[in-house]
């Protein structure tokens, strides 16, 4: 081990001391808080994307089933049945909304204008429309014998579609409730998360020293 080796070791030690001297505990705490809360934001988005995906998938199924009856009546030259048209309209609006809201979700980090939870009222409107559709179709098919068709539609098939209508209504109710909570209680929830992160990464206050009179 030569003199040059000792010189290099000395330089390394000096650099290490300089790095320790420049260490800022407050910066480290801030980075720790950000690292702790970032995964929470990611996990918050995942259920939203799952719900939007289910809304799109089930909406497309309903569009196909009710749309088949609309197309069959068109080809046969029959008058359009209001129930099928209403079902296609509700499901189509739901599919479009699910796609638009899902695509806009990542942009919420750029601007508050793209935070789709602020439009929770539209989710509630779609929930109401799905409930109306479920009620109308339920009254027609749920108590009807499977062998009795209704305006060319298989009763046994439509009974399954009725329950899909109910599932869709539940999904839109869930997204509407989430949007309402996020809009009006989101600040409180975020502040609680901030306090938790602060307790995990912040400095504990030093207890005041007691002064005794002699």
pLDDT score recorded for residue 135: 97
pLDDT score recorded for residue 212: 36
* Domain extent listing, the chain: 29-182
pTM, two decimals, is 0.69
Show pLDDT as tens, one digit a residue, over the chain (214 residues): 555 554 555 556 566 556 555 555 555 455 444 444 444 455 567 888 899 999 999 999 999 999 999 999 999 999 999 999 999 999 999 999 999 998 887 776 555 666 777 889 999 999 999 999 999 999 999 999 998 999 989 999 999 999 999 999 999 999 999 999 988 886 665 555 455 545 655 544 444 444 333 3
Looking at the chain, how many residues does it have? 214
């Amino acid at each position: 081990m030569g003199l040059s080796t000792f010189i290099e070791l000395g330089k390394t030690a000096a650099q290490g001391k300089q790095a320790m001297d420049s260490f800022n505990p407050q910066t480290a705490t801030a980075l720790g808080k950000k690292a702790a809360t970032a995964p929470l934001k990611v996990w918050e988005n995942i259920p939203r994307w799952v719900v939007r995906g289910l809304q799109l998938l089930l909406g497309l199924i309903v569009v196909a089933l009710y749309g088949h009856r609309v197309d069959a009546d068109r080809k046969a030259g029959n008058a359009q049945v209001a129930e099928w048209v209403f079902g296609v309209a509700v499901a189509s609006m739901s599919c479009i909304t699910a796609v638009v809201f899902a695509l806009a979700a990542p942009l919420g980090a750029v601007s508050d204008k793209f935070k789709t939870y602020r439009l929770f009222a539209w989710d509630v409107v779609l929930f109401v429309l799905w409930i109306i559709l479920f009620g109308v179709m339920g009254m027609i098919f749920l108590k009807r014998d499977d062998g009795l068709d209704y305006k060319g539609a298989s009763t046994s098939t439509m009974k399954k579609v009725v329950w899909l209508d109910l599932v869709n209504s539940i999904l839109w109710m869930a997204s509407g409730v989430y949007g309402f909570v996020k809009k009006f209680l989101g600040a409180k929830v975020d502040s609680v998360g901030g306090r938790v992160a602060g307790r995990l990464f912040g400095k504990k206050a030093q207890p005041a020293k007691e002064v005794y009179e002699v």
